[in-house]
Amino acid sequence: MGRLKIHNSNIKREMIDRERELRFLSLSGEERFFELVKLNKLAVLMNGGKPLKVPHGNGIVIRRSAG
């Protein structure tokens, strides 16, 4: 799985965003795809094992918790 990076709160948000963008742009298409797959697996894990998006026959419907 990927790595968790905790940023110093004194660093501006723009600098953190730029660092992430540069890393993303340095990846090949295949690496970007697998990073997305890993992110989806993490999202399911963090959502209690339930996917964030579920098929309803008319495409994909995104559900949000009411609370």
pLDDT per residue over 15-51, tens digit each? Answer: 888 988 998 899 999 999 998 889 889 889 988 988 8
Beta-carbon count within 10 A of 16 CB = 13
66/31: higher pLDDT: 31
Those residues with Cβ within 8 angstroms of residue 54's Cβ, 6 or more apart along the chain or in another chain: 60, 61, 63
49: region left, alpha or beta (phi > 0 left; psi from -120 to 50 alpha): left
64/13: higher pLDDT: 13
Residue 9 pLDDT class (50, 70, 90 cuts): confident
For residue 34 the two structure tokens come to 């697998």
**What is the average pLDDT across 6-15?**
80
| Pairwise CA distance, residues 67 & 51, whole Å | 17
